[in-house]
Amino acid sequence: MPRALKKLLSVLAVSSMTIGTTGAIAQQPPKPVPAPIANPALIAKGEYLARAGDCIACHTAREGKIFAGGLPMETPFGTIYTSNITPDPQTGIGTWTSDQFFTTMHNGRFPDGGLLYPAMPFASYTKVTREDSDAIFAYLRSIPPVRQANRPHDLRFPYNNRSLIIGWRTLFFREGEYKPDPTKSADWNRGAYLVEGLGHCGMCHTAINALGGSSESQAFEGGLIPMQNWYAPSLTSNKEAGLGDWSIEEISDLLRTGVSTRGAVYGPMAEVVYNSLQYLNDDDTRAMAVYLKSLAQGTSPEKPAASLPSAESSLLLSFGKSIYDRECGGCHGATGVGMPPHYPPLAGNPSIQMVSAVNAIRMVLNGGYPPGTAGNPRPYGMPPFAQRLSDDEVAAVVTYIRTSWGNRGEPVSARQANELRSATLN
Amino acid sequence: MAARVLACAGCHGAQGEGTSDVYFPRLAGKPAGYLYNQLIAFRDGRRRYPPMNYLLEFLPDAYLQEIATYFASLRPPFAAPAIPTVSAEVLARGETLVKNGDPQHGIPACSGCHNPGFTGMEPAIPGLLGLRASYISAQLGGWRYGTRTALAPDCMQIVASLLTEDDVKAVAAYLASRPAPADPSFAPRGSLPMPLACGSEPH
């Protein structure tokens, strides 16, 4: 299994020069385009922006050479292999011009006109400015070339037919650079540019439909990430990961260090912080926080009210409480207040109360470490309990956590717990 | 540090002494270089075990080194050795293989690298005591089938591929039956003439 970036898997598949382009290029010997005179400031800017775009997560295989591609990504449509974006003239993008690179980023088209599979998030990258695209290109031209041919995708019929992408584009692709909103602050606009563009946050945090597309009208409303069995919470609802009642500092901490006094990142978001967000500067992190906070709609979560359990659920809850007190309370506290930032609060934590209980169940089964970052280099980890608790015990303790201390989540069943035991881990 | 690695305790014990699960190894007192190599191998997917691959995926080298050093420094008591469930002949075959190898089949003795007391050698050769037969046999299987790999030359992959199923059973049973070492310290770096080149243990 690939590195966590299986998030992009969501979509119809990933870009590949393998089928679309290299075939055509191979007809004639490639002519390397002379690298522009190295401009260290431009290259540094491009490196920073490539971090913001998290290019490395997909375009570098495990223990592979940087940006040489070859990472397998499981999708509902088959396996795709990411492409080599080093400046090697034969197997990478060494013959490309900055115009061609921009067209690929902006319009999802290879230099020969072939269409990228939309797992390459060009529907987000289209918002990137020409200036920023040129900086990223200058950086990619400056890294060591790696001769490593792209591996053909292994997609099932009919998804191996690239002409399907035309239909996908009609439905889901809106080309266009980010247009600042003059009624909003500079911070807000910078944040929106990063979140909607290079950050491609919508790839996970917007529901993916059966066609592998994200609906614009449901932007950032959350969704289950296909193949991964993690739920990417809504960024617009305060009942999920809407950040309306978080402070700018709390949001910035979470993005940059992976932990905050309100909660920690886990699952696929840990990858994003590890490879991308921890490298952003204070101004950009703050700008993203300003924009994300503004996305949250409506009011804060309803005032929690203790539900009155039936006799049966009361039994489940007392069973859950006994497990909680034995296994969880030592770190998260008898009343779920935690010891932030290292032991996140469970009481009032929206991540635990979402309609989808997938993440809460998986955290109990699999545990997890927040990413080790410059701001939190020695994270504390949550132990896995899959080997220690039965399905009934997992269901009871997750139900207890979701419904106690004012939390308003729904109970979960042993069957739900059991199904997630086989979820892909890594 | 114990609080930071609490995530390890459920399977490996609070002091890295192991738990009742026979597939989870003791970590305490193994050389830090060995533990570090394993943490890196799990993180980067060279050694496959999804729960470990997942836990370590986003932890930086420096922290993994610190975790390795921590477990290497612990000296919890050893659990009582397993009562063998195999015949005396099998145990005897195991003892022979472990102490003398099988020169006819090119199999080196375990003690050649892992130290005659089986407590390992610095920096990166692990001790073999305090492990259950199921774990040892699963690891030898892992090398044979490629789910456990190490830096080239991957000496254990070579050794494991020379062993028959019966050899594996005998070695695992014998090692698991050994009592705790009187002196658990490992051999100093370079003190044993290793019969095979080993990518994990540079000379």
Query: What is the least distance, in Å, from the CA of B55 to any CA of chain A?
Result: 5
Q: Residues of A with CB below 8 A from B66's CB?
A: 378
Do A336 and A345 touch, CB atoms closer than 8 A? yes
- C-alpha to C-alpha distance for A161 and A129, rounded to whole angstroms: 31
Tokens 């997560």 correspond to A57
Q: Is B9 close to A383, i.e. CB distance below 8 A?
A: yes
Q: Would you state the CATH architecture of domain B6-176?
A: Orthogonal Bundle (1.10)
* Number of other residues whose CB lies within 10 A of the CB of residue A150: 22
Interfacial A residues in 271-290 facing B (CB < 8 Å): 271, 273-274
Contact A11/B at CB under 8 A: no
- Phi then psi for residue A228, to 5 deg, are -95, -25
Report CA-CA distances (Å) from A11 to A103, A170, A212, A225.
20, 15, 4, 10
In a 13 Å sphere around the CA of A253, the CA atoms on its Cβ side amount to 15
Give me the pLDDT at residue A229, please: 86
| CB neighbour list of residue B19: distance below 8 Å, 6 or more residues apart | B10, B11, B12, B13
Could you tell me which of A146, A121, A125, A127 has the C-alpha nearest to residue A10? A121
* Omega within 30 of 0 (cis) for the link into A340: no
Written in H, E and C, the secondary structure of A266-283 is: CCHHHHHHHHCHHHCCHH
The residue that leads in pLDDT, B96 or A163, is: B96
* Number of other residues whose CB lies within 10 A of the CB of residue B193: 7
- Phi then psi for residue A28, to 5 deg, are -125, 150
Give me the pLDDT at residue A13, please: 36
Could you tell me which of A152, A148, A132, A150 has the C-alpha nearest to residue A140? A132
The two tokens of residue B75 are 């000296």
| Spans of all domains in chain B | 6-176
Give me the pLDDT at residue A210, please: 54
Q: Residues of A with CB below 8 A from B23's CB?
A: none
The partner residue sitting opposite A425, judged by closest CB among B11, B53, B58, is: B53
Q: What is the CA radius of gyration of chain B?
A: 16
Q: What is the ipTM of this complex?
A: 0.90
- C-alpha to C-alpha distance for A196 and A241, rounded to whole angstroms: 17
Give me the pLDDT at residue A320, please: 96
User: Is CATH 3.30.70 the classification given to domain A186-295?
Assistant: no
Max distance between CA atoms of chain A, in angstroms, equals 76
| CB neighbour list of residue A111: distance below 8 Å, 6 or more residues apart | A21, A96, A100, A103, A104
Report CA-CA distances (Å) from B75 to A56, A334, A376.
41, 32, 29
Could you tell me which of A151, A170, A263 has the C-alpha nearest to residue A213? A170
Counted residue by residue, chain A has a size of: 426
In a 13 Å sphere around the CA of B184, the CA atoms on its Cβ side amount to 18
Q: Residues of B with CB below 8 A from A366's CB?
A: 51, 54-55
Do A70 and A82 touch, CB atoms closer than 8 A? yes
Tokens 């932890």 correspond to B59
- Phi then psi for residue B102, to 5 deg, are -140, 85
The partner residue sitting opposite A387, judged by closest CB among B21, B45, B57, is: B21
| Spans of all domains in chain A | 5-172, 186-295, 311-420
The partner residue sitting opposite A426, judged by closest CB among B4, B54, B62, is: B54
Matching fold, domains A186-295 and A311-420: yes
Q: Is A381 close to B50, i.e. CB distance below 8 A?
A: no
What angle separates helix A98-107 from helix A130-142, to the nearest 10 degrees? Answer: 120
Assign domain A311-420 to its CATH superfamily: Cytochrome c-like domain (1.10.760.10)
Q: Is A386 close to B51, i.e. CB distance below 8 A?
A: yes
Q: Is B57 close to A270, i.e. CB distance below 8 A?
A: yes
Q: Residues of B with CB below 8 A from A387's CB?
A: 10-11, 21
Least confident interval from A33-37, A64-68, B38-42, B168-172: A33-37
- C-alpha to C-alpha distance for B11 and B19, rounded to whole angstroms: 6
The partner residue sitting opposite A380, judged by closest CB among B4, B10, B55, is: B4
Give me the pLDDT at residue A35, please: 59
List per-residue pLDDT tens for chain A, 426 residues long.
Answer: 343 334 333 333 333 333 333 434 445 556 666 555 679 999 999 999 999 999 999 999 988 999 999 999 888 888 999 999 999 999 999 999 999 999 999 999 999 999 998 889 999 999 999 999 999 999 999 999 999 999 999 988 888 888 888 888 888 889 999 999 999 999 999 999 999 999 999 888 886 655 556 666 677 777 788 778 898 888 887 667 678 889 999 999 999 999 999 999 999 999 999 999 999 999 999 999 999 999 886 555 454 444 545 666 788 899 999 999 999 999 999 999 999 999 999 999 988 888 889 999 999 999 999 999 999 999 999 999 999 999 999 999 999 999 999 998 999 999 999 999 998 887
